[in-house]
Amino acid sequence: MTIETRKEVCNQLHSKSLMKIGVYKNTDIAFQIFKQYAESFVHAYKDYYPDSEVEVIYANKQPQSFYLQFGSDILLFLLHSNVFAFNRDHEVMRTSYIKEDKNRIYCGQISIYNFLTDSLLYNRYNDLGYLIGRLFINTENHYYIDGKREIGQIYNNFETNIINEDAIKTILESAMRYTINFDLLVPPYDEVKEMKVFEMVEINNQRMPIRTAKRLGFRFQADTGS
């Protein structure tokens, strides 16, 4: 490796790494605001309904995750430790915003999953949670969302969307509205008509091996937003 080549590699490493560090910092700041709004929602609900039988809980046990439990649902928020780039076939790659500066494709990621409260309460480890949205934030604090219905339709213009407190509040509330209306449906009979012996034994041992999920036995269609 020549001195010129080594210097070029060092420059590339330095500039790209600093850019990715900046992207992660932006995403982490947004994640902390999500935590603040989730916790404030709990206080607001209890102010509105001080005697409610509905449990609303904010749990923040890990630096890169937290969950908001409300009624029969849990929203789990995960901050990914890595920075991602949109692939060449993604729709944002065709925008003038990206064509002007390729560094804008690098984003931190916050994922939002929906689980059933009873899955956690009864330690039903076979139960499924669903990814309902992914938030991507780049070096300029622009954001892009892909996800289900209300979440994926939040003013999804990467060029103009700036992540701030108002945007984070809208995303959180939209995720909650979607989850509240995302019902647990009765699975088709043929999908649950059989039970294995070990499942019966586990149930008798006060375990719940039978998998439960909001769309178990149904096609979960990302293309229709169902």
Residue of higher predicted confidence among 64 and 128: 64
The band of 216, judged by pLDDT with boundaries at 50, 70 and 90, is very low
| Order of all β-strands in the sheet with 106-116 | 56-62, 65-70, 73-85, 106-116, 130-138, 143-147
* One-letter amino acid for residue 116 of the chain: L
Q: What are phi and psi of 115, to 5 degrees?
A: -125, 165
Distance CA 79, CA 32 (A): 10
The band of 221, judged by pLDDT with boundaries at 50, 70 and 90, is very low
Over residues 136-194, the pLDDT tens digits come to: 999 999 999 987 666 655 657 899 999 999 999 999 999 999 899 888 766 677 766 77
What whole-number percentage of the chain has pLDDT above 90?
65
Averaged pLDDT for residues 51-75: 96
Whole-prediction pTM value?
0.85
Distance CA 217, CA 69 (A): 25
Task: Map out the domains of the chain as residue ranges.
Answer: 3-183
Distance of CA 150 to the CA centre of its chain: 14
pLDDT of the residue at 218: 35
